[in-house]
Amino acid sequence: MRAIQVTQYVKGPHELKVTTLPTPLPSPDEYLIKIHSVGTNFFDILQVQGKYQHQPPLPWISGMEFAGTVLSTPTASKSNLSPRFKVGDRVFGGTQGAYATHILAEEGALLPIPEGWSFEDAAGLFVTAPTSYGGLVTRANVQKGDWVLVHAAAGGVGLAAVQIAKAKGATVIATAGTQRKREIAKAFGADYTIDYGDAKWPDAVKKLCAENRTGNSKAGVDIVYDPVGMIDQSLKCVAWNARLLVIGFAAGKIEKVGLNRVLLKNVSIVGLHWGQYRNFEQETVAGVWDGIFDLVRQGKFRGTSFKDESFVGLESVPKALHALGSRGTWGKVVVNIADGDDALEKGSKL
């Protein structure tokens, strides 16, 4: 198989190289998957630099999100149940080693690609959709009629959050740093957009709520979805009983928050660590995915892969990671693997 193997930490993605390696042999409880598309994540950049919280012992294959086809199924599972997927099934998932033509995965790391979805769109689903669904539905209990402020709304988790909030009957105010990104947020359903590059953005949120809401709700939004690190500022434009979701710190700084406003406005600040649900609250994971697949079936949730530029072949992974890190992309930056890499792979042993 071909893969981006990290044998020593690099300064940046541009130093990553594609190599040919033996295709791994599955253990009795693993699937072998042929990868067609891979999703990129900011933590992939940190990991190849040795700066991420999960660093496997060297050498390891980079990448975490993928979509592909089942080549072989487990011969024995821990649960003694027959495998959920069969050879040829289209699946997506997340496990270490996705920047490759093949990957091994346990059943818990795989899900079926929704009907009608491309490998490209499915490759970006595993992290963003459940983070936003788990945040808005499981943690913040979004309700019809709520107003939801989604920060960095054109980013990977942001576009998922916009769609989920709208699907649940909320009104969405989306913030983003460029006109193009605000247009994208609108195209995915946002009702209003605001440039949060303007320091007075909380006033713009308050104005929208004062003009369009009634009673206590005139003061601000009911839910804030924050993958950036803007909780303190957002506390200026929330309504009584609001829930503020701490999703991430894309701006690079862990915030300190003035708790006086938390008390005065009777609000909750709620964290979400989606990746840990598999370890601490497995029963919630299936429910979240059922909810997402239901929205997909109703046509209320669609793929968010970045379309302004295309990335084809494993060799374009460094370019895709660079684009992601430069803040110029929207949605999920996905690299399509199949054709070019299959051709290059001829002669290498399966």
Ligand X SMILES: NC(=O)c1ccc[n+]([C@@H]2O[C@H](COP(=O)([O-])OP(=O)(O)OC[C@H]3O[C@@H](n4cnc5c(N)ncnc54)[C@H](OP(=O)(O)O)[C@@H]3O)[C@@H](O)[C@H]2O)c1
Q: Which residues of this chain interact with ligand X, rule CB under 6 A?
A: 42, 127, 131, 152, 154-158, 176-177, 181, 227-228, 247-252, 272-275, 324, 327
CB nearer to ligand X: pick between 53 and 82: 53
- We find the least distance from the C-beta atom of residue 41 to ligand X, in angstroms, to be 6
CB nearer to ligand X: pick between 170 and 272: 272
CB nearer to ligand X: pick between 115 and 283: 283
**For residues 228 and 211, what is the distance between their CA atoms, to the nearest angstrom?**
27
Residue 241 backbone dihedrals phi, psi, to 5 degrees: 70, 15
CB nearer to ligand X: pick between 59 and 275: 275
CB nearer to ligand X: pick between 250 and 296: 250
Residue 175 backbone dihedrals phi, psi, to 5 degrees: -110, 150
CB nearer to ligand X: pick between 113 and 334: 334
- We find the least distance from the C-beta atom of residue 57 to ligand X, in angstroms, to be 23
- We find the least distance from the C-beta atom of residue 127 to ligand X, in angstroms, to be 5
Closest CA to 220 of 233, 206, 234, 200: 206
**For residues 229 and 254, what is the distance between their CA atoms, to the nearest angstrom?**
7
**For residues 337 and 312, what is the distance between their CA atoms, to the nearest angstrom?**
6
- We find the least distance from the C-beta atom of residue 275 to ligand X, in angstroms, to be 6
- We find the least distance from the C-beta atom of residue 278 to ligand X, in angstroms, to be 11
- We find the least distance from the C-beta atom of residue 96 to ligand X, in angstroms, to be 16
The 8-class DSSP code of residue 62 comes to -
Closest CA to 135 of 245, 268, 39: 245
List the beta bridge partners of residue 335.
Answer: 38, 311
- We find the least distance from the C-beta atom of residue 79 to ligand X, in angstroms, to be 26
- We find the least distance from the C-beta atom of residue 244 to ligand X, in angstroms, to be 13
Range 17-22, long-range pairs (CB < 8 A, 24+ positions): 18/314, 18/315, 18/317, 20/345, 20/348, 21/100, 22/349
14 three-class SS:
helix
CB nearer to ligand X: pick between 117 and 133: 133
Q: Say which amino acid occupies 137.
A: V
Tokens at 225, concatenated:
């979805």
88 three-class SS:
coil
Segment (H or E) for 280 = helix 277-280
CB nearer to ligand X: pick between 26 and 156: 156
**For residues 176 and 343, what is the distance between their CA atoms, to the nearest angstrom?**
40
